[in-house]
Structure 1
Amino acid sequence: MQPSFEIRGRTLALTGPCFIIGEAGSNHNGSFEQALALIDVAAKAGCDAVKFQVFKAKRLYPKAAGSSDYLGDERSIFDIIAAMELPEDWLPRLRARADHHNLAFIASPFHEEAVALLDPFVDAFKIASYELTHAPLLREVAKRDKPVIMSTGASNLDEVREAVATLEAAGCDRLALMQCTAAYPTPPEAVNVRALVTLRDTFGIPSGLSDHSEHPEIAPMAAAALGAAVLEKHYTLSKFLPGPDHAFAVEPDGLSRLVAGVRAVERVVGSGDKTVHGVEDELRAFARRVLMTTKAVAKGERFSRDNVDVLRRGKLVGGLEPKRLEALLAGVATRDLPAETPLQETDFTSG
């Protein structure tokens, strides 16, 4: 697996900057105009990519699967999913809208045939958490020679390891893994952002966070601080729209705040190299301490703490570093020195 790769000209590496995906998912509610509006929102917020989901109810659940308790919807899960399907003929037009905004276009296929359907349009494939053990789907995605992002919700590390091996064996060499918690919304104490570090260290590939917590910024900013290479967040035009994914998604203002917050964190986290920054140059010169006379010292006079101190030099010329104090105190002046003179090597000799 490659330690870094690109999606539409944006690099995903072992540590940031974050490739931010606006997860439109199925929040189009069957409206093409709403789907277009979602793409516009992702672009305005500053996302790098927009993502949709392509599934068929009959390829996800049997009709007898019953209802989902967590959704609080009396309809069967089969009927709910059927109402959320994305029409195939939308794909070229959604891709065109994403192109207009220079957004990467990503989608999650949920059955093997959807992979071939999506292949002409997507810049990368996303594997949803519940598909992590769907080996036939993983193999079909891996054969397409495109970057893959895989969520790991409701999975343990051994299951992730097996899925990664399946993808790699089938030809995938560009993979990013996402820490994810399969709870909608995810309580803060269950987000476990630090797991993205475990994924990165274990597999040596880019990792990030697929966040389902309600707050727009906290978990994404924490992920950015830990070096997340990729970040995904569900968003919606309004939390009050009907459908299972709107209530825990962020609204347009929240998505904009998320992107701004992550970019702010990236700026303050920096590269990790410990160097002197250009913005420090003035005060490094002004406030660093040097050895300086506090009284006039005559030629031949011995230096002592009575006539020398370790002072910040301000705009005076540079002087001996404080580590030279012991040597200075063992010496005498080689010339007459006024008070407040930054001392140089030539100003003293051993007594």
Structure 2
Amino acid sequence: MFGIVVLFLAVSLLFYCLFGGADFGAGILEGFAGKRYRSKGRKLTYTAIGPIWEANHMWLILVVVILFMAFPKVYTVVSIHLHIPITIMLIGIVLRGCFFTFRHYDAVKDKSQRYYSWIFVLSSIISSLFLGIIAGAATLGRIDTSTTSFYEGFIYPWFNEFSFAVGIFACCIFSFLAAVYLIGETQEEELRKYLLNQALKANIVTVVAGGLVFLAAKINGFHLIDLLLSHLFSALCLLLATISLPILWIALRKRQVILPRILAGFQVLMILTAWLWLQYPAVINLQNGPDLTLFNTVAPQATIQVLGWALIVGSMLILPALYYLLRSFKFNTSAE
């Protein structure tokens, strides 16, 4: 059952990046939209994420529950030493959901719509940024569980160039993911060309942000390039993500819908796989002792057995319901 639990953890993280990340990315793109396209883009966002935006956070909840049940020490260290970025991210998620709802369902369309929109955009950026910051802090290895200093215990692990570079990279790739997804949601030629341009810009800044991650790692004394070269599978994953880019753009130019979305998702999968493989079996790299791994933090076997069966049974209920939700609100709409 241990393998089943780890698989669900990895898949939940991937699905949150693919669905929740695209959700955040749609909000980020709106913030950079020109006045001419802002209204159209907003309506397209409603159509694209309106029916499913709440369901996206189910994957984040699964990640938290699995860590709490199966790897309690990891959950404890993360929730204590990274509680500031976690809290900021959660505030962003809550504000984003609230003001998306206020803007969409407010019966009175007045100046308050402007504030709703800006809070929606800013919270989308904040949520994405701090999700990446948390991932960067878990990788960098500056968490010290023995310190009594507030700065060293709760600020130093995440307030650094590398963690913020990973956060910026997350914002960029989520924006690219959202742009590719949204292109297939419209039949209007002018709007489609605008979204293609947005996708191109997001693609370029994602590549630049990826370079900044390596630069920031060097500044912080984290030899990421050397680590990557010593893990050839991770390097291969990044190579495959890069090679798939021209294919994605060819498919977009041919006005295909499904293949570009699959390839965009594939790129996120490859980047996430490369990161997880670099970390494996570590989950959290510590500064003052042995890293927290999947093996030295695992819960008792009885707990893993119960959790594994709960995840299997739960997936048999949740996944068909999620498919029905998508089919009802998305597939039928796209067919029209």
State the TM-score, normalized to the length of structure 2: 0.28
Q: Which has the higher strand share?
A: 1
State the TM-score, normalized to the length of structure 1: 0.27
Q: Which has the higher helix share?
A: 2
- Where relative contact order (Cα < 8 A, 6+ residues apart) is larger, the structure is 2
Q: Mark the structure with the bigger radius of gyration.
A: 1
